[in-house]
Amino acid sequence: MCDLIRHDWQLHEIEELFSLPFNDLLFQAQQIHRQHFDPNAVQISTLLSIKTGACPEDCKYCPQSAHYRTDVEREKLLAVEQVVASARAAKSQGASRFCMGAAWRNPKDRDLPYVIDMVKQVKELGLETCMTLGMLNAKQAQALKQAGLDYYNHNLDTSPEFYGEIISTRTYADRLQTLKHVRDAGLKVCAGGIVGMGEKRRDRAGLLMQLANLPQHPESVPINMLVKVQGTPMADLDDLDPFEFVRTIAVARILMPKSFVRLSAGREAMNEQMQALCFFAGANSIFYGERLLTTANPDIDQDRKLFERLNIRALQHQDYDDEVHEAVIQEAITEQRQPALYYEVR
């Protein structure tokens, strides 16, 4: 086993990881996970749709696309006060990061002042901030950074080879360009994808290869299970094998040892045993709350009970100095004990 940070993964190497015996794969992922994280701590985020529906993109999985007839109602950009109230409630329920999503192809300059005000006021509550607003240009990314935004989410969705089956209104190169603007602005990157869209295992490997071979690994890697919504072209697809989803989590952990790997959309359909396997495979972040943009999520009480049964605690703060982090790791290896890597900022 090797946990070196690499950016030169080959597709056949990743496919070989996927093909390992299930127990061997999870054992390897758990070993790597324990070298960089507390295995019994999970970062909690809350996601709010700040502008819903009427998106001009034609993503075949998305109920917010204007191309499809779904039950999602079009809503205007929320008032700043509404967003801050939601953030305050999220913090009271244990969230440490507040994510805001808008169904845009890209934000318009007229919207940026409101978005920037949201970032500033949510930051004042002591929460980390994340936004997903579609494609960004360099100037917009810089403006969000100056406002104090911590993370920007922009998923690659799938492999370059399968991408054309999912969306035609935005290219893969467009997505990579946005990630470059985000990184160049000094923002942390949140980038992952969706599985269960009819892709092959080779495409799941290809998606993770794209993420792992970025010049710098995303700090957060959300792995979404397709939520099938009536009215979208993917409403009647077959379910992905649950063990294949767990394998995807484990391979993501091996390829990106220091990234937070998040269980995102689709968790509402996972039983407790599947979620526990995902945590063992290296997932250490979830979305908390009954709704993710427009799709269902486990209720908060259900998550709390699961955490209690698994003796998992919620991280209060995961920003730490890299030198301190490495020192704690080395001390833990010397003493043959599990490190406590996270320190609440008071």
| Active-site amino acid positions | 55, 59, 62, 99, 130, 190, 262
Specify the length of the chain in residues.
346
Structure tokens of 339?
Answer: 């490190």
Q: State how far the Cα of 217 lies from the Cα of 259, in Å rounded to an integer.
A: 7
Beta bridge partners of 195: 225
Extract the runs of DSSP E, i.e. beta strands, from 154-275. Answer: 188-190, 193-195, 220-225, 260-263
Whether the Cβ atoms of residue 198 and residue 165 lie closer than 8 Å to each other = yes
Structure tokens of 209?
Answer: 């290869």
Closest to 195 in 3D by CA, of 143, 251, 141? 251
Give rounded-to-5 percent helix, strand, coil for the chain.
40, 15, 45
Angle among Cα 38, 15, 8 to the nearest 5 degrees reads 70
Q: What's phi and psi for 329, nearest 5 deg?
A: -60, -50
Q: State how far the Cα of 181 lies from the Cα of 183, in Å rounded to an integer.
A: 6
Q: Helical H runs in 148-200?
A: 172-184
Q: State how far the Cα of 30 lies from the Cα of 24, in Å rounded to an integer.
A: 10
Please state, as a whole number, how many other Cβ atoms lie within 10 Å of the Cβ of residue 248.
25
DSSP string, 247-294: HHHHHHHHHSTTSEEEE-TTGGGS-HHHHHHHHHTT--EEE-SSEETT
